[in-house]
Every structure is written in structure tokens, then in C-alpha cells.
Amino acid sequence: MPKRNDLEQKALHFVMNTGSAGVLQSDLWRELGASSREGSRIAIKLEEKGLIRREKELQDGRWTYRLFPKRVPASIDSIVDCPCLLCQDNARCDPTTPISPTNCPKLTDWILSLGKENPAPLGDSTLAQGLGPR
């Protein structure tokens, strides 16, 4: 039998991935291959730890709970291509020094490439293309 903590971890990931739609407790324990008793205990444990929220719901004439994640899993997606992430010049980067976020060409290129499917190449090249003079 899997350890309780492993199951809790799996259950937490499962609930986290359902997002705002949530998941029925009955679907959770079926997915985990656990019994309904185990599933219910795990859900209670996660709720006690403040990681999920349980809401009572009537499903096919039976009362069950719908589980919602309380926290959004931390994701690095929003900054994964940002040049500031792990930049070699980080220690020297300051608005008062020559290396500064105010004039960093890599940062400029990244900002201009935001929202585009293919990120722009590094260098100041995008300045001329992205935004023309008035």
C-alpha cells in the first residue's frame, strides 16, 4: 500500500491541476486507486493544512464534496525567458550604475517580444522594427 504522505502529495497535485473547476472527492479517490475512506481522510487532511477547500455537493442523489485548490502552484512560466532570470550581471545591475534595468538591451528586446509567439533575437535590433518614431 502506498504511504499516506505519497497519496496526499498525489491528491494535492491532482486537485491543483483541476484549477477553478475543482474535482469531486469521489473522482479523486478513484483516480488515486484508493478507497473512499482513504480519499475522504486525505481530503480532510489537505483541508486542515489549508491547501484545499471542500464544498458539499449532491451527485446522483449522494452527498459528496467538490475539492478546490486554495493555492495556485508556483510556476516559472511567466519569467522563464526573461533575461533577468539568472543574469550574469545581476550583482552589478542597478539604476545608478551603467548596467541598469532602465537601459538593458536584452531586457528591452524581451519586453518587445512579449505576446509574440517567437521571441525576438537578442540585440537592439527590435527597437527599430517594434516601435517606429512618430
Closer to another protein by Cβ: residue 24 or 120: 120
> Which residues, listed in sequence order, are joined to residue 55 by a DSSP beta bridge?
66
**Contacts with another protein, residue ranges (CB under 8 A):** 5, 8-9, 12-13, 16, 46, 49, 51, 71-80, 82, 84-86, 90, 93, 95, 100-103, 105, 107-108, 111-112, 114-115, 123-125, 127-128, 130-134
Closer to another protein by Cβ: residue 59 or 125: 125
- Separation between Cα atoms, residue 116 and residue 29, nearest integer Å: 41
The identity of residue 109, as a single letter, is D
Smallest distance from the beta carbon of 124 to another protein, in angstroms?
6
Smallest distance from the beta carbon of 5 to another protein, in angstroms?
8
* Best CA proximity match to 84, nearest among 103, 107, 102, 105: 107
Closer to another protein by Cβ: residue 61 or 132: 132
Question: What is the side-by-side strand order in the sheet with 23-24?
Answer: 23-24, 62-69, 52-59
CA angle 77, 116, 110 (to 5 degrees): 65
Closer to another protein by Cβ: residue 29 or 42: 42
